[in-house]
Amino acid sequence: MKLAFILDPLDQLKAYKDSSIAMMRAAARRGHAVFAIQRDALVWDGGTVSAQALAITPTDVDDAWYVPGATSSQPLTAFDAVLMRQDPPFDFEYITATWLLERAAQAGARIFNHPRSIRDHSEKIAITEFPQFIPPTRVARAADDINAFIDTHGDTILKPLDGMGGSQIFRVRADDPNRNVIIETLTHEGRRTIMAQAYLPAISGGDKRVLIIGGQVIPYSLARIPKAGETRGNLAAGGRGVAMPLTEGERAIAEYLAPILWARGLLIVGLDVIGDRLTEINVTSPTCMVEITAQTGFDVPGAVIDALEKACA
Protein backbone atom coordinates (compact mmCIF):
# COMPACT_ATOMS: atom_id res chain seq x y z
CA MET A 1 0.00 0.00 0.00
CA LYS A 2 0.89 3.65 -0.36
CA LEU A 3 0.22 5.45 2.94
CA ALA A 4 0.35 9.18 3.69
CA PHE A 5 0.52 10.61 7.21
CA ILE A 6 -0.47 14.22 7.87
CA LEU A 7 1.84 15.14 10.73
CA ASP A 8 3.25 17.93 12.85
CA PRO A 9 6.70 19.13 11.68
CA LEU A 10 8.92 16.04 11.52
CA ASP A 11 11.74 17.58 13.56
CA GLN A 12 9.30 18.13 16.44
CA LEU A 13 8.26 14.50 16.75
CA LYS A 14 9.76 12.45 19.59
CA ALA A 15 10.56 9.17 17.90
CA TYR A 16 11.06 7.19 21.14
CA LYS A 17 7.39 7.58 22.05
CA ASP A 18 5.48 8.89 19.03
CA SER A 19 2.59 6.66 17.95
CA SER A 20 2.57 8.00 14.37
CA ILE A 21 6.22 7.09 13.92
CA ALA A 22 5.52 3.65 15.38
CA MET A 23 2.77 3.17 12.78
CA MET A 24 5.04 4.32 9.95
CA ARG A 25 7.74 1.91 11.09
CA ALA A 26 5.20 -0.93 11.23
CA ALA A 27 3.95 -0.08 7.73
CA ALA A 28 7.47 0.06 6.28
CA ARG A 29 8.37 -3.32 7.82
CA ARG A 30 5.53 -4.83 5.79
CA GLY A 31 6.76 -3.23 2.58
CA HIS A 32 4.25 -0.39 2.39
CA ALA A 33 5.39 2.98 0.99
CA VAL A 34 5.25 5.81 3.54
CA PHE A 35 4.82 9.53 2.88
CA ALA A 36 4.67 12.56 5.19
CA ILE A 37 2.47 15.59 4.55
CA GLN A 38 2.30 18.89 6.41
CA ARG A 39 -1.19 20.28 6.95
CA ASP A 40 -0.30 23.66 5.44
CA ALA A 41 0.59 21.89 2.17
CA LEU A 42 -3.02 20.88 1.45
CA VAL A 43 -4.33 22.52 -1.74
CA TRP A 44 -7.74 22.39 -3.44
CA ASP A 45 -7.76 23.28 -7.13
CA GLY A 46 -10.11 22.29 -9.92
CA GLY A 47 -11.94 19.75 -7.80
CA THR A 48 -8.79 17.96 -6.59
CA VAL A 49 -7.16 18.09 -3.15
CA SER A 50 -3.41 17.57 -3.40
CA ALA A 51 -0.35 18.13 -1.23
CA GLN A 52 3.42 18.11 -1.29
CA ALA A 53 4.27 14.63 -0.02
CA LEU A 54 7.70 13.61 1.22
CA ALA A 55 8.63 9.97 0.66
CA ILE A 56 10.34 8.68 3.79
CA THR A 57 12.05 5.48 4.83
CA PRO A 58 11.60 5.00 8.59
CA THR A 59 14.57 3.69 10.57
CA ASP A 60 14.85 2.17 14.04
CA VAL A 61 17.23 4.93 15.18
CA ASP A 62 15.40 7.51 17.26
CA ASP A 63 17.89 10.33 16.67
CA ALA A 64 17.52 9.96 12.90
CA TRP A 65 14.23 8.14 12.57
CA TYR A 66 13.76 8.51 8.82
CA VAL A 67 15.66 8.83 5.56
CA PRO A 68 14.06 11.49 3.34
CA GLY A 69 13.30 10.71 -0.27
CA ALA A 70 11.76 12.79 -3.02
CA THR A 71 9.06 15.39 -2.50
CA SER A 72 6.26 15.54 -5.06
CA SER A 73 2.80 17.05 -5.40
CA GLN A 74 0.23 14.27 -5.37
CA PRO A 75 -3.58 14.13 -5.18
CA LEU A 76 -4.74 12.48 -1.98
CA THR A 77 -6.61 9.94 -4.11
CA ALA A 78 -3.20 8.63 -5.20
CA PHE A 79 -2.71 7.07 -1.76
CA ASP A 80 -4.36 3.90 -0.51
CA ALA A 81 -5.00 5.66 2.79
CA VAL A 82 -4.29 9.03 4.37
CA LEU A 83 -4.00 9.27 8.16
CA MET A 84 -4.73 12.63 9.78
CA ARG A 85 -2.43 12.60 12.80
CA GLN A 86 -1.86 16.23 13.69
CA ASP A 87 -2.13 17.33 17.29
CA PRO A 88 -4.51 20.07 18.41
CA PRO A 89 -5.05 23.04 18.90
CA PHE A 90 -8.32 22.43 17.17
CA ASP A 91 -8.45 25.91 15.71
CA PHE A 92 -9.93 27.35 12.51
CA GLU A 93 -6.98 26.08 10.45
CA TYR A 94 -7.59 22.57 11.78
CA ILE A 95 -11.27 22.85 10.85
CA THR A 96 -10.29 24.13 7.39
CA ALA A 97 -8.08 21.06 6.94
CA THR A 98 -11.05 18.79 7.75
CA TRP A 99 -13.12 20.58 5.08
CA LEU A 100 -10.39 20.04 2.50
CA LEU A 101 -9.94 16.44 3.54
CA GLU A 102 -13.67 15.89 3.29
CA ARG A 103 -13.56 17.07 -0.32
CA ALA A 104 -10.74 14.57 -0.91
CA ALA A 105 -12.84 11.82 0.69
CA GLN A 106 -15.75 12.78 -1.52
CA ALA A 107 -13.46 12.27 -4.53
CA GLY A 108 -12.57 8.78 -3.35
CA ALA A 109 -9.63 9.22 -0.97
CA ARG A 110 -9.65 7.04 2.14
CA ILE A 111 -9.03 9.38 5.09
CA PHE A 112 -8.60 8.11 8.66
CA ASN A 113 -9.89 9.29 10.97
CA HIS A 114 -12.72 10.51 8.75
CA PRO A 115 -12.50 14.32 8.57
CA ARG A 116 -16.20 14.90 9.18
CA SER A 117 -16.09 12.69 12.25
CA ILE A 118 -13.02 14.50 13.58
CA ARG A 119 -14.70 17.85 13.04
CA ASP A 120 -18.04 16.84 14.55
CA HIS A 121 -16.53 14.97 17.49
CA SER A 122 -15.42 17.18 20.37
CA GLU A 123 -13.04 15.06 22.41
CA LYS A 124 -14.51 16.42 25.65
CA ILE A 125 -18.21 16.90 24.79
CA ALA A 126 -18.43 13.60 22.88
CA ILE A 127 -18.86 11.75 26.17
CA THR A 128 -22.26 13.43 26.67
CA GLU A 129 -23.64 11.09 23.99
CA PHE A 130 -23.04 8.21 26.43
CA PRO A 131 -24.19 9.54 29.83
CA GLN A 132 -24.52 6.02 31.24
CA PHE A 133 -20.71 5.74 31.35
CA ILE A 134 -19.60 9.18 32.57
CA PRO A 135 -19.12 10.82 35.98
CA PRO A 136 -21.40 13.69 37.05
CA THR A 137 -20.63 16.31 34.42
CA ARG A 138 -21.75 19.83 33.54
CA VAL A 139 -20.89 21.80 30.40
CA ALA A 140 -21.49 25.51 30.94
CA ARG A 141 -19.91 28.93 30.83
CA ALA A 142 -21.91 30.98 33.33
CA ALA A 143 -20.14 31.24 36.70
CA ASP A 144 -23.39 30.62 38.59
CA ASP A 145 -23.91 27.30 36.80
CA ILE A 146 -20.35 26.16 37.45
CA ASN A 147 -20.40 27.29 41.08
CA ALA A 148 -23.67 25.43 41.64
CA PHE A 149 -22.04 22.24 40.32
CA ILE A 150 -19.06 22.70 42.65
CA ASP A 151 -21.39 23.32 45.61
CA THR A 152 -23.27 20.10 44.80
CA HIS A 153 -20.27 17.83 44.33
CA GLY A 154 -17.71 19.48 46.59
CA ASP A 155 -14.59 18.17 44.86
CA THR A 156 -14.45 18.81 41.13
CA ILE A 157 -12.30 18.98 38.03
CA LEU A 158 -12.61 21.99 35.71
CA LYS A 159 -11.13 21.91 32.20
CA PRO A 160 -11.34 23.75 28.89
CA LEU A 161 -12.96 22.00 25.95
CA ASP A 162 -9.98 22.49 23.61
CA GLY A 163 -7.03 21.47 25.79
CA MET A 164 -4.75 18.45 25.57
CA GLY A 165 -2.04 16.81 27.65
CA GLY A 166 -3.59 17.97 30.91
CA SER A 167 -3.23 21.65 30.04
CA GLN A 168 -5.31 24.07 32.17
CA ILE A 169 -7.01 21.35 34.19
CA PHE A 170 -7.85 22.44 37.74
CA ARG A 171 -9.03 20.50 40.77
CA VAL A 172 -11.35 22.80 42.69
CA ARG A 173 -12.96 22.07 46.05
CA ALA A 174 -16.01 23.88 47.38
CA ASP A 175 -13.90 25.69 49.99
CA ASP A 176 -11.13 26.67 47.56
CA PRO A 177 -10.48 30.40 48.06
CA ASN A 178 -9.38 30.65 44.44
CA ARG A 179 -12.43 29.04 42.87
CA ASN A 180 -13.91 32.27 41.51
CA VAL A 181 -10.71 33.40 39.85
CA ILE A 182 -10.17 29.89 38.41
CA ILE A 183 -13.65 29.98 36.90
CA GLU A 184 -13.09 33.50 35.57
CA THR A 185 -9.76 32.45 34.04
CA LEU A 186 -11.01 29.23 32.41
CA THR A 187 -14.22 30.80 31.06
CA HIS A 188 -12.50 34.03 30.01
CA GLU A 189 -14.93 35.79 32.35
CA GLY A 190 -17.97 34.03 30.98
CA ARG A 191 -17.06 34.10 27.30
CA ARG A 192 -15.88 30.48 26.97
CA THR A 193 -17.70 27.23 27.76
CA ILE A 194 -15.88 24.71 29.95
CA MET A 195 -16.50 21.28 31.46
CA ALA A 196 -16.93 20.49 35.15
CA GLN A 197 -16.75 16.91 36.40
CA ALA A 198 -16.96 15.36 39.83
CA TYR A 199 -13.48 14.42 41.06
CA LEU A 200 -12.87 10.68 40.85
CA PRO A 201 -10.60 9.34 43.63
CA ALA A 202 -9.79 6.36 41.37
CA ILE A 203 -7.35 8.67 39.55
CA SER A 204 -4.79 7.52 42.13
CA GLY A 205 -4.75 4.21 40.25
CA GLY A 206 -4.31 5.92 36.92
CA ASP A 207 -6.12 7.76 34.17
CA LYS A 208 -6.45 4.79 31.79
CA ARG A 209 -5.98 5.15 28.02
CA VAL A 210 -8.01 2.45 26.27
CA LEU A 211 -7.39 2.11 22.52
CA ILE A 212 -9.90 1.01 19.89
CA ILE A 213 -8.40 0.20 16.46
CA GLY A 214 -10.71 -0.39 13.51
CA GLY A 215 -13.57 -1.29 15.81
CA GLN A 216 -11.46 -3.77 17.81
CA VAL A 217 -10.62 -3.18 21.46
CA ILE A 218 -6.93 -3.46 22.37
CA PRO A 219 -6.77 -5.76 25.42
CA TYR A 220 -4.37 -3.55 27.41
CA SER A 221 -4.70 -0.01 28.72
CA LEU A 222 -2.00 2.43 29.72
CA ALA A 223 -2.61 3.66 33.25
CA ARG A 224 -1.18 7.16 33.48
CA ILE A 225 -0.49 7.49 37.18
CA PRO A 226 -0.10 11.00 38.63
CA LYS A 227 3.19 11.92 40.24
CA ALA A 228 3.17 12.80 43.93
CA GLY A 229 1.21 15.94 44.69
CA GLU A 230 -0.40 16.04 41.22
CA THR A 231 -4.01 15.44 40.18
CA ARG A 232 -3.39 14.93 36.47
CA GLY A 233 -2.18 11.60 35.18
CA ASN A 234 -1.26 12.85 31.68
CA LEU A 235 2.23 11.81 30.59
CA ALA A 236 2.80 15.40 29.42
CA ALA A 237 2.10 16.50 33.00
CA GLY A 238 4.66 14.09 34.47
CA GLY A 239 2.44 11.05 34.90
CA ARG A 240 3.95 7.54 34.86
CA GLY A 241 2.63 5.11 32.24
CA VAL A 242 1.95 1.52 33.33
CA ALA A 243 0.36 -0.94 30.91
CA MET A 244 -2.16 -3.38 32.33
CA PRO A 245 -4.94 -5.69 31.15
CA LEU A 246 -8.36 -4.11 30.74
CA THR A 247 -10.73 -4.41 33.65
CA GLU A 248 -14.24 -5.73 33.06
CA GLY A 249 -15.62 -2.20 33.36
CA GLU A 250 -13.14 -0.74 30.89
CA ARG A 251 -13.79 -3.51 28.39
CA ALA A 252 -17.56 -3.10 28.70
CA ILE A 253 -17.33 0.61 27.86
CA ALA A 254 -14.93 0.04 24.98
CA GLU A 255 -16.87 -2.87 23.48
CA TYR A 256 -20.06 -0.79 23.55
CA LEU A 257 -18.45 2.21 21.84
CA ALA A 258 -16.23 0.34 19.34
CA PRO A 259 -18.79 -0.48 16.62
CA ILE A 260 -20.47 2.92 16.93
CA LEU A 261 -17.22 4.86 16.48
CA TRP A 262 -15.86 2.61 13.72
CA ALA A 263 -19.10 3.05 11.76
CA ARG A 264 -18.29 6.79 11.78
CA GLY A 265 -14.91 6.22 10.17
CA LEU A 266 -12.92 6.58 13.40
CA LEU A 267 -10.11 4.08 12.86
CA ILE A 268 -8.03 5.06 15.90
CA VAL A 269 -9.77 6.07 19.13
CA GLY A 270 -8.34 6.65 22.59
CA LEU A 271 -10.80 6.45 25.48
CA ASP A 272 -9.86 8.02 28.79
CA VAL A 273 -11.30 6.05 31.70
CA ILE A 274 -10.91 6.69 35.43
CA GLY A 275 -12.18 3.84 37.58
CA ASP A 276 -15.19 2.72 35.58
CA ARG A 277 -16.11 6.19 34.29
CA LEU A 278 -15.50 7.52 30.78
CA THR A 279 -14.00 11.04 30.80
CA GLU A 280 -12.89 11.69 27.19
CA ILE A 281 -13.04 10.17 23.69
CA ASN A 282 -9.90 11.16 21.79
CA VAL A 283 -9.89 11.02 17.98
CA THR A 284 -7.42 13.62 16.66
CA SER A 285 -4.13 11.85 17.39
CA PRO A 286 -4.51 9.23 20.16
CA THR A 287 -1.21 8.05 21.62
CA CYS A 288 0.19 5.48 24.09
CA MET A 289 0.78 2.79 21.44
CA VAL A 290 4.54 2.68 22.03
CA GLU A 291 4.25 2.27 25.80
CA ILE A 292 1.64 -0.49 25.61
CA THR A 293 3.64 -2.38 22.99
CA ALA A 294 6.92 -2.07 24.90
CA GLN A 295 5.45 -3.26 28.19
CA THR A 296 3.13 -6.04 27.00
CA GLY A 297 4.48 -7.20 23.64
CA PHE A 298 1.07 -6.58 22.04
CA ASP A 299 1.83 -4.91 18.70
CA VAL A 300 -0.56 -1.95 18.72
CA PRO A 301 0.97 -0.17 15.67
CA GLY A 302 0.78 -3.49 13.83
CA ALA A 303 -2.91 -3.68 14.71
CA VAL A 304 -3.39 -0.29 13.02
CA ILE A 305 -1.72 -1.57 9.85
CA ASP A 306 -3.84 -4.72 10.03
CA ALA A 307 -6.96 -2.55 10.16
CA LEU A 308 -5.76 -0.39 7.27
CA GLU A 309 -4.95 -3.42 5.12
CA LYS A 310 -8.41 -4.81 5.78
CA ALA A 311 -10.19 -1.48 5.21
CA CYS A 312 -8.31 -0.84 1.95
CA ALA A 313 -8.46 -4.37 0.55
- Has residue 124 been placed in a domain? no
Percent helix, strand, coil in the chain (nearest 5)?
A: 35, 30, 30
Q: By residue range, what is the domain housing residue 178?
A: 136-199
Cα distances (angstroms) measured from residue 200 to each of 22, 97, 102, 155, 220: 32, 36, 38, 9, 21
224 among known catalytic residues: yes
pLDDT-derived band of residue 305, with 50, 70 and 90 as boundaries?
very high
- Has residue 142 been placed in a domain? yes
CATH number at residue 222: 3.30.470.20
What is the SS3 assignment for 237?
Answer: helix
- Has residue 257 been placed in a domain? yes
Residues 6, 104 within the same domain: yes
Mean pLDDT of 99-121: 97
Q: How far is CA 273 from the centre of its chain?
A: 14
pLDDT-derived band of residue 233, with 50, 70 and 90 as boundaries?
low
| Range list of β-strands (E), 76-191 | 81-84, 111-112, 137-140, 155-160, 170-173
113 among known catalytic residues: no
Residues 209, 285 within the same domain: yes
Q: Which of 18, 208, 234, 282 is catalytic?
A: 282
Residues 77, 159 within the same domain: no
Q: Which of 39, 85, 124, 277 is catalytic?
A: 124
Check pLDDT > 70 for residue 152. Answer: yes
Taking all residues of the chain, what is their mean pLDDT, rounded to a whole number? Answer: 95
pLDDT-derived band of residue 230, with 50, 70 and 90 as boundaries?
low
Which pLDDT tens digit goes with each residue over 238-287? 778 999 999 999 999 999 999 999 999 999 999 999 999 999 999 999 99
Residues 21, 96 within the same domain: yes
Q: What pLDDT does 229 receive?
A: 62
Residues 174, 207 within the same domain: no
Q: Which of 232, 234, 250, 277 is catalytic?
A: 232
What pTM was estimated for this model as a whole? 0.94
Q: What pLDDT does 88 receive?
A: 81
- For the chain, what is the domain count? 3
Q: What pLDDT does 307 receive?
A: 98
Q: What single-letter amino acid sits at 75?
A: P
Which of 87, 116, 145 is at the close of a domain? 116
pLDDT-derived band of residue 126, with 50, 70 and 90 as boundaries?
very high
What is the SS3 assignment for 21?
Answer: helix
- Has residue 227 been placed in a domain? yes
- Has residue 244 been placed in a domain? yes
